Amino acid sequence: MAQSFPLPRGCPYAPPEEYGRLREEAPLVRAQLPRGEVWLVTRHAEAQRVLTDPGISTDPATPGHPMAAFTERPPTPEEQEVRRRFQVGQFIDMDPPEHGVYRRMLIPEFTVRRIREMRPAIQEATDRLIDDMVEAGPSADLVEAFGLALPSLVICELLGVPYADHDFFQSRTRMMIDAGAGGESAVTAATEIRNYLDGLVTEAEREPRDDLIGRLVLARRETGELTHDALVGMVFLLLVAGHETTANMIPLGVHALLRHPDQLDALRADPEGWPLAVEELLRYHSIVDWIAFDRVATQDMEIGGQAVRAGEGMFVLGASANRDPRVFDDPDTLDVGRGARNHLAFGYGVHQCLGQNLARAELEIAYRTLFERLPNLRVVGEDDELPFRYDGVIYGLAALPVTW
């Protein structure tokens, strides 16, 4: 019998409990969705294969794509047209070679060198937010005061989005995440964000500024490769992906380290260990799990000894692959010195997260600075009292009360 899906989490420190059983059962298992069955990819090796195989598509328009099976009924022609327009520029959902056209335009903005140049500004923003916490303290909601605020400051500065509007796009993004896959409120929130960004892009087309939106406008004029709608779609993807995931990782990582004081002590004794600690926290929490790893086979193939037919959809379970004992020793243990950068938290292959260098820098600076400046930081309340988003498509905390 097919496994019901999705499976909610039930522990702050682990993916759904069933993942371990499924992973040992087979590298691919069947799962039941409202309008059909899909494959769940449970192991690390097979996950890498699915995320890189040219015979597997990420395009939602490909027949058999698994996201279509989430809805209770097929979309109407009007709904299909709305989705089609909304997908323009969303290069995360494109296959090569179209995907590469968009990605090449953005690579210079996210190189190691470019992010190194941004580190002083990230540090300044981090210090300023902690100053504000201390002034208002000695307690705060770390999600609101720090976790959401820092990535918002950084991505707004990078894109050229007015920070004064951050409450608007944060609230709409959270609505999208909370509503799950394809909910009506998610579509409404996404449309509102896109309309807002359409206005910003239109302004930049009239008078380009020295920010990422302005540079993309100039590039579009020079190459003719992007339509207006495509540019809006690109900016939408960068804004949402550029702050929501990091905003969830910051409080989760802080919580995990405070609940594992031996690991935090090791980092205080050796601050050079923070980059490796970031990698381990990313692996350990795997907050995106399956939502960005939706794929469909475009030809018959065999994966992990299992026949997969053209038109069959699949979800790679990133949180399961990142706990695969075939790759990670004692995978359920948080070990900040592990040094395993082969996790799938940023994906794998051509669709690997474009902003991963920026995310790493933000997380490293945020964790290190917070624990240095607030050495007596502690969580208020027990884990069973904290509002973990166990059933969210992106895992996180709705709030994290702390004091110092």
* Pairwise CA distance, residues 190 & 175, whole Å: 9
CB-side neighbour CA atoms (13 Å) of 220: 21
Distance between CA atoms of residues 131 and 129, nearest Å: 5
**What pLDDT, on the 0 to 100 scale, is given for residue 183?**
58
Q: What is the pLDDT of residue 244?
A: 83
- Could you tell me the maximum CA-CA distance found in the chain, to the nearest angstrom? 61
Distance of CA 67 to the CA centre of its chain: 17
pLDDT of residue 243: 82
The residues, ordered by sequence, that sit 6+ positions from 309 with a Cβ below 8 Å of its Cβ are 297, 300
Q: What would the two tokens of residue 129 be?
A: 């937010």
pTM of the model: 0.93
In the chain, what are the domains?
3-403 (1.10.630.10)
| Residue 197 burial (C-beta neighbours within 10 Å; 0-12, 13-18, 19+) | buried
Answer yes or no: are the C-beta atoms of 321 and 44 closer than 8 Å. Answer: yes
The Cα 126–Cα 234 span in angstroms is 27
**pLDDT for position 180:** 53
Give tens-digit pLDDT for 124-167.
999 999 999 999 989 999 999 999 999 999 999 999 989 888 88
For residue 319, the tally of other CB atoms under 10 A from its CB is: 24
Low-confidence ranges of the chain (pLDDT < 50): 181
pLDDT of residue 177: 67
CA neighbours within 13 Å on the CB side: how many for 38? 28
Nearest one of 398, 347, 404 to 174, comparing CA atoms:
398
| Closest to 246 (Cα-Cα) out of 155, 376, 116 | 155
